[in-house]
Structure 1
Amino acid sequence: MVIKYFGKTCALMVMIFTLILISNTVGYGITISESVPGILVLCGIGLGGLTISKAMSRFIKLPSMMYVVVLAVLLSCPISPVQEQVITLTSNVQFMAPTAAMGAFIGISLGKEIKSFAKMGWKYIIITLFVIFGTFVFSAIIAQTVLKITGVI
């Protein structure tokens, strides 16, 4: 079971790697040789976080994304011995390149579930649009406020 899970996760990472590489190269003009090391680091962090999540799911039920984010923060924080390498390598990967890959996967998953979503009724669609819009707007407001307070902008 663990080998099957690890195989599926690695296959997913290969797809994500490819999408990020294409997005980073075509969309931002960063060469493949500059992109590959950073994308490998990001995929390694993702694979590590997912593996930790799978191992910890026996004890604590938390979202996999939490483990990925915590691992990324630990590897890139100032007390980490690999902080400089992680930041240097991943700085060649544009933030929107992984976002484009993530959007593609979200679109695919929504496409599979659109019929069951439509069965819920038009009220749920309106509520969903308000939730998505509100999340986006309030995230932007919070980001703007924090960046102004800290003097970044």
Structure 2
Amino acid sequence: MSHVDNVAVQSDDTVPEMSLGREFTLLLIATAIALPLQLIAVDITVTEAAAGLGVLALMCVGGILLGRYIPIPIPSVAWISLIGIALTLPFTPWGPSIVGLVEQIDFLALAVPCLAYAGIAISQLEIKVLKRSGWKLLVVAVFVLFGTYITSAVIAHFMLGVS
């Protein structure tokens, strides 16, 4: 049992495993959402965006499969990163081709659906903590956002002066 408002938390830290079909369906949905975002964010054709996103999706599929079936406890995101690194090594015969397909993809635009989902995916535990913290949490959040903004502006100002 957790001490936060008597909310039960699993002690074995296991996460229920999602079926491969569901994971691949969600990957397909994320890719479909990313396509129009790429067309808005970057001046590329539908074909270029689809090719780049397709390569990234295939890297994700490979990472998901490796994470699922290789008996090494590494999360799929690490496998996806390793596949991406291996496929884009400059000394491999396929590296420049893969880089050519994905270099026009705007990775910030890929983050938009993820951040939107993270913003709305609030658990009951988080709501209880918010209710318990009340206005104090709002004050801390304002200071954190303000401090982050000021620090970013100072760093940007300094870097612009350097360059």
Q: Quick check: TM above 0.5?
A: yes
Deviation readout 1:73-129 (Å, 9 max, x if unpaired): 11111233321111000012112121113223323433xx1x3202124278859x9
Partner of 1:66: 78
Q: Secondary structure at the match of 2:91?
A: coil
Pick from 62, 87, 95 the counterpart of residue 99 of structure 2. 87
Paired amino acid for 1:119 = K
Partner of 1:51: 65
Q: Give 4+ residue runs of structure 1 displaced > 4 Å after superposition.
A: 123-127
How is 1:14-53 mapped onto 2 (pairs within 5 angstroms)?
Answer: 14-53=28-67
Partner of 1:119: 128
Provide the aligned length of Structure 1 versus Structure 2. Answer: 131
Return the index of the structure with the highest Cα Rg: 2
Partner of 1:105: 117
Unaligned 5+ residue runs, structure 1? none
Tell me: higher relative CO, structure 1 or 2? Use CA pairs within 8 A at least 6 residues apart.
1
Query: How far apart, in 1, do the equivalents of 2:119 and 2:109 lie?
Result: 16
Query: How far apart, in 2, do the equivalents of 1:66 and 1:50 lie?
Result: 10
Which structure is higher in helix share?
Answer: 1
Deviation readout 1:32-91 (Å, 9 max, x if unpaired): 1221100000111111111111113x442x322111111111111123332111100001
1:77 aligns with 2:89: yes
CA RMSD between the two structures: 3.0
Taking structure 1 as the reference length, the TM-score comes to 0.69
CA contact (8 A) 1:9 1:47 kept: no
Unaligned 5+ residue runs, structure 2? 1-17
CA contact (8 A) 1:75 1:83 kept: yes
- Structure 1 vs Structure 2: percent identity of aligned residues? 19
Taking structure 2 as the reference length, the TM-score comes to 0.65
Residue 70 to residue 59, structure 1, CA distance change in 2 (3 Å): closer
Paired amino acid for 1:74 = A
CA contact (8 A) 1:24 1:94 kept: yes
Residue 51 to residue 96, structure 1, CA distance change in 2 (3 Å): same
